[in-house]
Amino acid sequence: MKWLFRILVGVGFILVLSAGLILYPAIRDWWHPPFRSGNVADEAKAAGRNAASFHAADEDYFHDMDRGIALTGDEVKGRNAWIAWTGGNDRFWDGMTKATFGSFDLLKIVSSDRDTRWKVLGLLNEPCFNKATAPDPKYGLLLDVRRSDCPADPFANAQKYPGVAIGARGKTVPLGSYYGEPSGIVGLRLFSNPEFDKAAAERWDGNRYYNDPSYYNDKNLVRPYRVGMSCGFCHVGPSPVHPPADPEHPQWADLSSTVGAQYMWVDRLFVYSASKSNFMFQLVHTYRPGAMDTSLVSTDYINNPRTMNAIYNVGNRLALAQQLGKETIAGGELNNKQFKDYLQGGPLTKSFVAPDTVFTPRVLKDGSDAVGALGALNRVYLNIGLFSEEWLLHFNAVVGGKPISPIKISDAQKQSSYWQATEMMTPATALFFLKAARPDLLKDAPGGNTYLSTDQAVLMRGKSAFATTCARCHSSKMPPLPAGLDLAACNGRGYIDCFKQYWSWTKTSDFKEQMTQIVLQPDFLNDNYLSNELRIPVTLLRTNACSPLATNAIAGNIWDNFSSQSYKHLPSVGTITVRDPFQGQRRPFAMPDGGRGYTRVPSLVSLWSTGPYLLNNSVGPFDESPSVDARMKVFQASVEQMLWPERRTKDTVLGKDGVYRIDRTTARSLITLPQGFVPEILRPLQGTLHLWLPWLVTQGGDITIGPIPEGVPVNLIANLRPLAETSDPVQAANHTARLVGLLHGLKASLASVPENATDEELRRHFADQGPAMLALDKCTDFEVNRGHYFGTGAFNEVDGLSDDEKAFGTEPPLNDDDKRALIEFLKTF
């Protein structure tokens, strides 16, 4: 009876704590009207700064990058904004340390070991810096030291670019520049912390910051610096055609602004301690190098890490949008700025036709950001923390539990000087992309020609295989559409039927003959984006469905103003087939409508340099070297797994049943809330709570939930939906009842497990709760590297699939010689 009482007390405590964390922000916003959405100014506006005071930097400091391409003044400003402008998001990233309960700390990242930063974190060391040999005398931090033989960083010029004077900034700490100081890592900038007043300075201890968990895990700790993040942090990478001889010590000439951070270890970045016993680490450990979940902060309760793609052939991509990218916008979507608002003439200005039509590329994997290329670019800055004063009112960062509401562009335009300044800078960034985002061809890379076939017969065979199997999705040069098929007019409610008509046409001999003649033309690859950017239904693609199930851009969610009416009205793709993570049996999963269920076609430009593959980098091996030889090794192994799916990694538990890889916990772990982040009202009770609930509260006062055994599917827990996400009161009540039942069953089950229980015994407890957890998961597709079986026999293995998946029919697969020839042709992209 004593154990039963403790269990019930524990369950009640968890429910009360959860309710408090969920309700507190709503109560705060109601009790303090100035903090309600739409009424809060960003730090710049609050300090009396207007957008005009943040003029774009004009120094061509990065002139050696991007193969030394010559840029105009506006293009220089655009690249500078991409790599150095953070838009005041240093406030946001400082707050993220608290939101992640101390797991994420950018100041520790910038003071990490420079000599192993690339190998351990996959981050780019900024040229002109050396490793710190000792803590700095002022704050005791191990920050990189700028070399004396290098010119000063022009963006740190506080006279030309004066920072925002707010709080202690400009008083007890330097004002600095609104571009911040270089940190020694490309894309991260240091800013004086306006909260670092005299009291904070007296409490600061650099040694304890690195070595004392009770000190650095205190949510009230004020650090002397904030760290801001530019877009370049996730998009600058080693140049495929001019790779650094030593990736730990690159030169600017070795870097590309648009190739993407393909080597970034996001798990090690977001969980600094990298302890396997922390479930947060187990979650982000599902992010393969070069991939991250862009909805991690504004959580949609779906773990869906996606690759940080390269940016290529922007001009051709815009031309393709004129043919297939027609979208209708309305309401708050119309508040997005368009290129016509800033530019006179040129290809960028053709993207909008008043009053409500845009012709736009779709940048996000699910094709949701469809309000114009400029709106998509501006949205990136919000997503990395610009105007966090408003953004964070619409959800609970990382942990969720609060209904999400849309951030309104009109509020940003009214209350954020940083947003207004960004709107004025990003057209120049688009001009930079238009000039600099050129393909990185293997023939231009050192030693690249040794990998290219000179056998014309093999290349001709590869071109034919590409034309009949791949080009229908991966070419922007296509035969004329047949009469009665207008893909641009189909975007919206009629899209799925229209797409099926298109797919049927691509299977005809007429299409294949015309497409083959196009591919065989000597200029086929010139100005070819190697994608048609159509939204492909997951019922055809059969890749992991968690990405196309993302909800951030559906009507009424956080990115409502950045997705078109055409997207919001997309019909359901139907029912897909997923595998049970416990027994492996096939299960149907009905895909919702309203935008979800589709993946836009990625480009194959410079395919040789971008492995591993699929939307989450799950197909193929990883190699930390950016050399041509290493890239080609990864390319060969990855593309073979794409064309021979039987070579892909299988699940460690159910692989014998044909189940592809499921990301499972790699060690026994806990969900931990460090005592420094426990609400103050509970801290006096921590000793008592440990006495009664030792399985929940440690002797040190940390709150722990678990143990979660090794081998549990990570997304079984990560995809749990805490809210009903419905306006139907009956459905909401049913959801709450199921959630309470699950919490009670899971907590009671785990609390009764003996201390010496094995992982196998613990897994049985999770399996017992499996049906209840699956019923509450927003995405129950756990196989991460399945799908995209085109040209392979796996495409025709339809037994057990849904009628919606079977509706696309079967096709003759390529034979092994065709596949090998296709690979030789793909190397030329």
Reported as a single tens digit per residue, the pLDDT across 523-555 is: 999 999 999 999 999 999 999 999 999 999 999
Measured distance CA(410)–CA(583) in Å, rounded: 50
Q: pLDDT tens digit string along 439-489?
A: 999 999 999 999 999 999 999 999 999 999 999 999 999 999 999 999 988
User: How remote is the C-alpha of 215 from its chain's centroid?
Assistant: 31
Q: Tell me the domain boundaries of the chain.
A: 2-32+669-708+722-776, 87-229
Region at 61 (left for phi over 0; alpha for psi -120 to 50; beta for the rest): alpha
Q: pLDDT tens digit string along 7-51?
A: 344 445 444 444 444 444 444 444 444 457 899 999 999 999 999
The pLDDT value given to residue 733: 83
Regions in the chain scoring below 70 on pLDDT: 1-35, 273-274, 672-704, 747, 750-751
Measured distance CA(433)–CA(165) in Å, rounded: 33
Q: pLDDT tens digit string along 57-89?
A: 999 999 999 999 999 999 999 999 999 999 999
Measured distance CA(6)–CA(726) in Å, rounded: 34
Bridge partner residues of 327 (DSSP): 358
What lies within 8 Å, CB to CB, of 240 at 6+ separation is 256, 259, 440, 445, 606, 608, 609, 626, 628, 631
The pLDDT value given to residue 403: 87
3-state secondary structure of 519: helix
DSSP of 196-257 = --HHHHHH--HHHHHH-HHHHT-TT---SEEEEE-THHHH-EE-SSS--SSTTS--GGGEES
The pLDDT value given to residue 498: 96
How many Cα atoms occupy the beta-carbon half-sphere of 388 within 13 Å?
20
Model pTM score: 0.91
Contact (CB, 8 A) for 391 and 38: no
- Torsion sign (Cα): 723, 724, 727, 730: negative
Q: Dihedrals φ, ψ of 238, to 5°?
A: -65, 135
Contact (CB, 8 A) for 280 and 150: no
Query: Which residue type does 607 have?
Result: L
The pLDDT value given to residue 99: 79
What lies within 8 Å, CB to CB, of 231 at 6+ separation is 82, 83, 85, 187, 380, 381, 384
The pLDDT value given to residue 36: 78
3-state secondary structure of 307: strand
Contact (CB, 8 A) for 556 and 406: yes
Helix (H) or strand (E) holding 603: none
Whose tokens are 């709150």? That residue is 703
Q: Which of the 8 DSSP states describes residue 159?
A: T
Identify the burial level of 738 via C-beta atoms within 10 angstroms of its C-beta, where 0-12 means exposed, 13-18 middle and 19 or more buried: middle
The pLDDT value given to residue 2: 35
The helices-and-strands tally (H runs, E runs) of the chain is 31, 18
Measured distance CA(152)–CA(129) in Å, rounded: 11
The pLDDT value given to residue 5: 37
Measured distance CA(674)–CA(678) in Å, rounded: 7
